[in-house]
Amino acid sequence: MTLFLISSVAKILVVFTVIMVGVALLTLAERRICAWMQDRLGPNRVGPQGLLQPAADGLKNFLKEETLPARADKVLFMLAPAISFVPALLTFAVIPFAAPLPTPWGDVDMVVANLPVGFLYILAFGSLGVYGIVLAGWSSNNKYSLLGGLRATAQMISYEIALGMSTVAVLLLGGNVTLTDVIAKQSESLFTWNVFPLSLAFFIFIVAAFAETNRLPFDLPEAEGELIAGYHTEYSAMKFSMFYIAEYSNIVTASALMTTLFFGGWDIPFTTWDNAPPWTPLKTVLTLGAFTLKTSFFLFLFIWVRWTLPRFRYDQLMALGWKVMLPLALGYVTIIATAIWLLHDQLGWTYDTRFALALFGLNLLLAVPLFFVLDRGHLIAGSVAEEGGRA
């Protein structure tokens, strides 16, 4: 009990600190990588290679004036940044980030809270994040903010469904909603990583994750060109900064989730040495490294996509969400459930590399026509109705 309390408090402190520092560095990484992609250098003045730039930004935000619109709903206006900021951080609590650490008093799970319902917890808190944005848009008493907030609601609710549906496939394969078990199930070999047996689920998940985190090409709630930054138009100083931190924490969490659900979590590929007891501190450190690497890759992907793709138009966004992603996710769950039933219950296979490869083959078969159709663009309307009235 004492070990649990002490280790929990220690983990909370460490994880919180690491995420806050990570978010700070991520803002810098975003600015530098975007600069590099545009053949610029980016902020490199404050500290070596600009490493202290986030600190300078933070200081600036602390010193700036807090504005409060005259007709704003004061309570909600103050509360909204916190409401968007807290769920973003809370979600990370159930993500296992390394192999258990042995201590003289027993093994410590490297997850802040090893909830048996970790998965549902993530879905629950993921949808709470939208409240912060909606309330911010509503309480600012500003048309643009309100529009941004409305867009955020519609967008996040639409893609939440596709996100949830795509993870159902993971649950079917994992047979459990505890994230540690989901990871354990994937760790057998490289091909048992869920990204192989469930490639299309990963595709749906990543698209939905971009929409959930309000990143380009789905950053409709902000849309600086049309909504003047949308829901946070009226915010300044630290309150604005909170939205910023929330956005980046969401990205960190989404990346960690992708790692956990589809890329084997903290599993080191090509070896099973790291997955089984006896646990050693070396294993913990190495698996933590593997987790960090994978997560960093997805963080980079978020930045990379943002500085490549243009924004969707709103009706295209909705059409993609409801007419493509949702039916796709539903159909996919059906197909995967059938396949698993066939392989597991009828043929009696247990989950191993062979099982995963069979499902991977199925995914490839499905992916070819899907990507062909998606690529031809019949599913997303162009900017002008085609002649003959078909939208």
Residue 379 Cβ vs another protein, minimum distance, rounded to whole Å:
9
| 16 near another protein (CB under 8 A) | no
Residue from 37, 190, 228, 358 that binds another protein (CB under 8 A)?
A: 37
Residue 235 Cβ vs another protein, minimum distance, rounded to whole Å:
30
Residue 215 Cβ vs another protein, minimum distance, rounded to whole Å:
14
Give the residue from 287, 260, 271 showing the smallest Cα distance to 102.
287
Residue from 2, 63, 383, 391 that binds another protein (CB under 8 A)?
A: 383
Q: Which 291-320 positions form the footprint of another protein (CB under 8 A)?
A: 304-305, 307-309
Alpha-carbon distances, residue 288 vs 98, 136, 281, 283 (angstroms): 5, 36, 10, 8
| 323 near another protein (CB under 8 A) | no
Return the amino acid letter for 185: K
Residue from 48, 65, 273, 378 that binds another protein (CB under 8 A)?
A: 378
Sign of CA dihedral 207, 212, 215, 218: positive
Residue from 346, 376, 389, 391 that binds another protein (CB under 8 A)?
A: 376
| 123 near another protein (CB under 8 A) | no
Q: Which of the 8 DSSP states describes residue 191?
A: G
| 386 near another protein (CB under 8 A) | yes
Listed ranges 179-187, 325-333, 356-364, 376-384: which one lies at the site for another protein (CB under 8 A): 376-384
| 364 near another protein (CB under 8 A) | no
Q: How many other β-carbons are positioned within 10 Å of the β-carbon of residue 161?
A: 16
Residue 161 Cβ vs another protein, minimum distance, rounded to whole Å:
22
d(CA 41, CA 35): 6
Task: Say if residues 243 and 287 touch (Cβ distance below 8 Å).
Answer: no
Residues in Cβ contact with 139 at an 8 Å cutoff, skipping those fewer than 6 apart: 72, 73, 74, 75, 76, 77, 80
Residue from 1, 39, 63, 270 that binds another protein (CB under 8 A)?
A: 39
Crossing angle between the packed helical segments 179-186 and 118-139, to the nearest 10 degrees: 120
Beta bridge partner(s), residue 101: 108
Residue 201 Cβ vs another protein, minimum distance, rounded to whole Å:
17
Query: Which residues of this protein are in contact with another protein, per CB under 8 A?
Result: 33, 35-41, 304-305, 307-309, 371, 374-378, 380, 382-384, 386-387
